[in-house]
Structure 1
Amino acid sequence: MKKILLLLSALAGILSFAQTSPLIIQNYNTFDAVGRLRTGMPGGAPGPYMYAAPNAPYGTYTIPAGAGTVYNTFDTSGTALLPITIWYVTDPTNPANSGTYPYNHPFITTVMNPSNVWGGFHFWLTDPSTGATDTYELGDPTVYPGFSASGTGTFSSADWFTITTPSGPTTYLQIF
């Protein structure tokens, strides 16, 4: 019984911090940021995670040069300036949950919002005149250990960080 209470307490702690942070993305660079935006379980715990589907008119998830957007929650991402209307869910702990979901599907609201946080963005910027490409894996290293909070390329730099205020945390991705 004590083990069950301890496990439930730990799970409640993890879930209490999930999806409490809006994500603000600002691409100040002159090139598109193209890649895979993903979510994950707090602290890198095993469980479901999601990738943003391509946003129209792009064939991949893209933050255009000079653009920015705000995602308040996963289940409102389809109403953002750069909408994410589809989420690709992978659940290694319960493969039956894996699949494609519209942003406002009850599974996103009831399962993913309370269990996931913004994990990171694996992306690249390419200078078409030179062919030079800067590649980044930015995000929360406690969610994805291979990701870093900042990086500098040949012609760009980028940072992923969270600011906590009395009204709550806000996560930022800024690309320069």
Structure 2
Amino acid sequence: MPHEISLRDVKDLVGQEIGVSDWITVDQTMINQFGDATLDHQFIHTDPVRAAAESPFGGTIAHGFLTLSLLSVMNFGSLPRIREQTMGLNYGFDKLRFGSPVRTGRRIRGRFTLTEARLRGAGMLMTTYDVTVDIENERKPALTAQWTTIVQFDPKDRPDDW
């Protein structure tokens, strides 16, 4: 996939996997910092000794919302940039599921399949992706979701043949 594409090219990519991110290691420092930022210090995330003794996971696990939040960097690093884009916005998620816990020290990556692209208004493109977050060497994904984003562009760049 090219690093940059034209707005006109987007509709031809519907149905295709258009990005796979690099692996990201989810370590205890990252988990603790996320817990501090969100005020979620549940022991299964932040207390390795207690989590090993009292949880079924054998140690600490990442917050599900930490995994979800990493989609931004996964998206930015793996999806082609749309040349005409002036701004991108999150619109929302559908069918978000946390399938398997991400154990501390594991690596995860995002996979993005474009399932829908439609123009809205004079200068807006709505895109929907089927997103999967893989855990390295595990069968079940950490997360699956449908993610809708908005690409804003100058109306003068709207393709005539869309």
What TM-score do the two structures reach when normalised by structure 1? 0.28
Normalized against structure 2, the TM-score is what? 0.30
Structure with bigger gyration radius: 2
The structure with the largest helix share of the pair is 2
